[in-house]
Amino acid sequence: MSDVRVRFCPSPTGNPHVGMVRTALFNWAFARHVGGTFVFRIEDTDSARDSEESYDALLDSLRWLGLTWDEGPEVGGPYGPYRQSQRLDIYADVAAKLLDGGFAYRCYCTAEELDAQRELAKKENRAPGYEGTCRDLTADQRNAFEAEGRASVVRFRMPDRDCTWNDLVRGEVTFGHEHVPDYVLVRGNGEPLYTLVNPVDDAMMRITHVLRGEDLLSSTPRQIALYEALAAIGVSDGTTPLFGHLPYVMGEGNRKLSKRDPESALLMYREEGYLPEALLNYLALLGWSMGDDQEFFSMEQMAAAFQIDRVSANPARFDLKKCTSINGDWIRSLSVDDLIARIMPRLADAGLVSNPPSVDQQAILKEAVPLIQERLENLKQAVGMVGFLLVQPEEFTLEEADAKAVLGEDADETLAAAITALEALPEWSTDAIHEALKSALVEGLGLKPKFAFGPVRVAITGRRISPPLFESMEILGRDVSLARLNSARSVR
Ligand code: GLU
Ligand code: ZN
């Protein structure tokens, strides 16, 4: 075991999104690469925005993805509890110590006063931000505000010097002290803010490396300063974690991918039948590369290869097409049995197989799934592609638009000829079916293959796009195939 400790610490608001998973993945891979510890912490101190559904969805998502955590909810660990809503006493205690030590102070400014300050700064072309009004109040001044009944926030006293750190991704980063004003740690109603609880927990949980999105870059100078204060009051062990800020993930049209973009919703991928392996594989490419241009790899391979110096500081573009194509690659890489197992719940939900499937259904799937494996982009499509092989006779239907396009009047002669040829067939096999139809329709009727087989395909599979036709007919058997061809004749 190495001493490396990283954390993934989302707030449970809304639905999990891919940007969040990318952060979790990079931390996970970093920890796994060195045999360190991956801590999962829930930052749920904002009771107005946090929800239990969202908490459940987070745990569910990490489990689905296979991003296992070593410490955290439901797993426990030496630095628990790992839900911040259960640590409020700790934060109150730390805030009191920071006040006592003079690292923080009570600020009595009202929202209106702060607004007025900001307006004035704007007018005078100065950087807006808290101007330190309450930094050095005397006891008398404080008492007077208290007597007035003014609420107070707890504000951190930023040191009057610039902050520089060596970012693991971006190299040396400096913030001038004039850009980092004193900031609020605890609200007027006593609620501790992210600004306090996140570094306090990182310190207490002995986090050694903070890998997180670039959007948090500007909180780093504040946190580094707070760390020094935490060391002074004995909350941290004196070490400040190393920070690495992962590049932005961009969506369509040079904008940051946002929670509102449909392709950012993690659960969409599960519903549509993306494999967790494929989604992680794709997300790994958003800011990291394996080297030697390898773009298809497992999480074990990623963990084995992961090094933070291969993370790029340049924005990464989220490309749903590429993600889908990697999903197709992953689907093709599965064994037939594995693919069947992953498709099965969807077939059962659609009422196409029993749960567990019968021996006959199993046999059909063993033959049918290899026929579609090549062309699947996601698992959801499988239901439409193999459904016609499993459906009960009375429930078989034709896609309306396809039937309309292909089963017009002139199809009748084609279907009739196909039926005659197939009825006479001594042996029911893919090759025999192919031969018989070719000679009856292409040679016999002089049709181009497209016009010869199109009506047969729609009659048999219900669709113009289907798995290979003759194989499908072999799987369906002679009786069902002939029945479908006959009933397609009466469609018009
Ligand atoms: N709860 C914060 C967020 O979800 C964590 C940020 C951090 O990693 O420091 O944005
Ligand atoms: Zn103030």
CA angle at residue 485 from 347 to 405, to 5 degrees? 85
Q: How far is the CA of 327 from the centre of ligand 2 (A)?
A: 54
pLDDT (tens digit per residue) in 121-166: 999 998 888 999 999 999 999 999 999 999 999 999 999 999 999 9
Neighbours of 146 (CB within 10 A): 13
Does 182 sit in the ligand 1 pocket, CB within 6 Å? Answer: no
How many whole angstroms separate alpha carbon 119 and alpha carbon 481?
Answer: 78
Top mutation candidate among 6, 9, 25, 195 for ligand 1, by most atoms within 8 Å of CB:
9
Does 201 sit in the ligand 1 pocket, CB within 6 Å? Answer: no
**Architecture of the CATH domain 87-246:** 3-Layer(aba) Sandwich (3.40)
pLDDT (tens digit per residue) in 294-329: 999 999 999 999 999 999 999 999 999 999 999 999
Top mutation candidate among 169, 210, 216, 222 for ligand 1, by most atoms within 8 Å of CB:
216
Token pair in block for residue 279: 């989604």
H or E segment at 106?
strand 104-107
How many whole angstroms separate alpha carbon 41 and alpha carbon 27?
Answer: 13
Statement: residue 492 has pLDDT above 80: no
Q: Where in the chain is the domain with CATH 3.40.50.620?
A: 87-246
pLDDT (tens digit per residue) in 364-408: 999 999 999 999 999 999 999 999 999 998 899 999 999 999 998
Kindly provide the residue ranges of all beta strands, DSSP E only, lying in 397-485, ordered along the sequence: none
Closest to 188 (Cα-Cα) out of 114, 90, 97, 136? 114
pLDDT (tens digit per residue) in 27-62: 999 999 999 999 999 999 999 999 999 999 999 999
Neighbours of 363 (CB within 10 A): 12
* Residues 11/43, Cβ–Cβ less than 8 Å: yes
Residue minimizing CA distance to atom 3 of ligand 1: 10
CATH code for the structural domain at 395-488: 1.10.10.350
Residue minimizing CA distance to atom 2 of ligand 1: 10
b or e along 294-333 (b: 16 or more beta carbons within 10 Å of the residue's beta carbon)? eeebebeebbebbebeebeeeebebbbeebbebbbebbee
**Nearest ligand 1 atom, CA 8:** 8
Q: How far is the CA of 84 from the centre of ligand 1 (A)?
A: 12
Q: Where in the chain is the domain with CATH 1.10.10.350?
A: 395-488
